[in-house]
Amino acid sequence: MRRKKRLQPGSGGERAITLLGVGLLVLLTWSWLSSFYPTYILPSPSEVARRAREILGQGGLFALHFRTTLLEAVLGFGLAAAVALPLSYCLARHPRLDHLVTPIVVAMQSIPIVALAPLLVIWFGFGISSKILIAAMTAFFPILTNGVVGLKETDPRLKELLQIMGAGKRQVFFKLEVPSALPVLFGGLRMGLTLSVIGAVVGEFSGAGRGLGYLVYLARGTFDTALIFVAILALAVMGIGFYLVISWVEAVVMPWRRER
């Protein structure tokens, strides 16, 4: 007799069933709660779906808003990574520079991006440039912090062993320092990419002509709560997509973690 295969704990099938169950529970709870409130306060899932069909049928207008926010977030993340990764290496390898720069970084990180966004929009205009910069500033700090922490976790004994075996600085960097820092670094990249979406939306709130944040801003003024929910769901899809992309890159770069 053939034994029926059981879903292993943590397997893909079990996760899918769990997510499906949670999703159905959320929809049922949402639908039940919406019956106690008017649509402009809490629209029902069916009302949100109807509003989504309406705006998706408006000749690609919603797609334009989605692409704008997506582009701002991706370019902002790329700019943040391009600056944060080299700087994290310099700070990890030069303690004096680390002591000098860290207080400045902490001071900048303590300033809410919501307070800086209007100023950056005034300086760099209402176009996409200011939104990219705001997204970059939001994503910069977790990438920098995790990069420094990851590089500092390199085992000095292994580094000394490689040097005794005749390895140069380049070999030590690529064979030891980078692989040991990757797990922590990818955590920072994952967080930075997600935060870049928040930065882009905050920038659009401060002044823009398109984007999902701009769409939420317009919908708020007309009490179109269903449209706000549509934009929020689109942002959630974007965030999940970013997470899956980073997870895929991590699996490709670090196959030994996937095999565990």
**pLDDT on residue 176:** 73
| Between 258 and 148, residue with greater pLDDT | 148
**pTM exceeds cut of 0.85:** no
CATH of 45-258, one of 1.20.1270.10, 3.10.180.10, 3.30.1360.200, 1.10.3720.10: 1.10.3720.10
Task: Give the whole-number percent of the chain exceeding pLDDT 70.
Answer: 85
Q: In the numeric block, which tokens belong to residue 52?
A: 């989504």
Q: In the numeric block, which tokens belong to residue 86?
A: 């080299």
Rounded to 5°, the CA angle 151-156-158 comes to 105
Question: What's the rounded Cα separation, in Å, for the pair 193 and 6?
Answer: 36
Question: What's the rounded Cα separation, in Å, for the pair 194 and 73?
Answer: 9
* Alpha-carbon separation of residue 41 from 27, 176, 220 (angstroms): 17, 55, 11
Close Cβ partners of 81 (under 8 Å, ≥ 6 residues apart): 139, 143, 189, 192
Of 110-114, 136-140, 167-171, 203-207, the least confident: 167-171
pLDDT 10s digits, 6-22 = 555 555 567 778 878 88
Band (197; pLDDT cuts 50, 70, 90): very high
Band (162; pLDDT cuts 50, 70, 90): low
Say whether pLDDT at 63 is over 70: yes
- With H, G, I as helix, E, B as strand and everything else as coil, classify residue 135: helix
Band (155; pLDDT cuts 50, 70, 90): low
Say whether pLDDT at 222 is over 90: no
Asked if 205 contacts 117 with a C-beta cutoff of 8 angstroms, the reply is yes
Residue 33 burial (10 A CB sphere; 0-12, 13-18, 19+) = exposed
Where residue 175 falls (left for φ over 0; alpha for ψ -120 to 50; beta otherwise) is alpha
Band (259; pLDDT cuts 50, 70, 90): low
- Euclidean distance between the first and the last CA atom of the chain, given in angstroms as a whole number: 32
CA 192 distance to own-chain centroid: 5
**pLDDT on residue 1:** 46
Mean pLDDT of 122-138: 90
pLDDT 10s digits, 73-100 = 999 999 999 999 999 988 888 888 888 8
